[in-house]
Structure 1
Amino acid sequence: MNILPQTLKHFAHQHDDLPAFHAGYLVLTLFAAAMFNLGAFGLLILAHMSLDYVKYREYHGYGWKLTFEGMIRESLIDVTLLLIGLVFSVYLHHSIAFPGISSLMRAELTIVRMFGTLIPKMKILHNFLKIVAHVRHYLDHAHPHLRQHWSTVDRVCFWSIGLTFFLLALSAPILHVTYPHIQEILIEELMPWTI
């Protein structure tokens, strides 16, 4: 009767050493990234940031400034990837016609769009699952660069976020479509329950 809990406990301790576990994890991550839209991954980022709030404000007892800095540092790459995926989704959306390109080129654009959205979603999901799998360790340790200057990678992320907002704001004139059309694309991509 005690065999099942013992087996599960043994698996929990040894799962990182099993290649089959990592292969299954990768396949499930790829499947989830392909199935859900960017809005679902935006919710994962919000859940991560909520956990960061609890981590820094309540668990470590930091003030508001350090709490928000910690939240930004922990989720900066995920937010950047989400916005880059959103730019790919808008600029390479199937409803936006590119006159003069062949069917083969349209298929290639679809593949580029798929990778432009799939890779950020996989990375966001991987980061979230890594935190969930080791939540106690995650809560115990503050970000290693808290109270330090922003690194080059952080600054590149901030610039990338600014560029994505600029590209999204100017997407209608650049793509020669109306802003309501861009709004429809954004709603399609950001509503989490749209699969």
Structure 2
Amino acid sequence: MSPLPPSAEACRDELLNRLAREAYRHGDFTLASGRQSNHYVNCKPVSLSGSGLELLGLALLKYVEPDAVCVAGLTLGADPLVSAVAMAAAQAERTLNALIVRKQAKGHGTAAWLEGPLPPSGARITVLEDVVTTGGSSLKAVQQLRETGYLVTRVVTIVDRQEGGEEALNAAELELVSLYQLNQVAERARQLETET
């Protein structure tokens, strides 16, 4: 007999614990945006582990628009996320493909910006992101997708650092949905630290 799947709330709590333990650091850091911060979140230790990928796929899929035919994101942070969500969708018997948006056009062959099974022009795509600070990476992905003829209105991120990204995305007519805010991850990290 197969074990019952954990509840959505249990998955969400476990994912927050994993992010707090494995992805969050406190100290002095320079972010991809060039900003200085006392908080650093690198989701890859979670998103590149099998169990973390499973949790993320389920959590992110919940916020993909019902009429989206693809999830997409800028390489490298979004690569495992789009794959995890496409797999979680397949397991839920939903057709949802994954696209990877290159940071620059491929230098040979087709000179493509996008990798994966391309949907028809006009199709809705939800963009996935690991961490949003200023929104720059998400906006770059959205720009390429929109220029290719796709409809993009939502970005789903694991962590919103709450440093202007939501405002920048809203200005580009994008809704930002985040699984967690930075303060939630930092607070959980403090709680876990005091428990040990």
**Shorter-chain TM-score above 0.5:** no
The structure that has the greater radius of gyration is 1
Of structures 1 and 2, the one with the larger relative CO (CA 8 A, separation 6+) is 1
TM-score band by shorter chain is: under 0.3
| TM-score w.r.t. length of structure 1 | 0.25
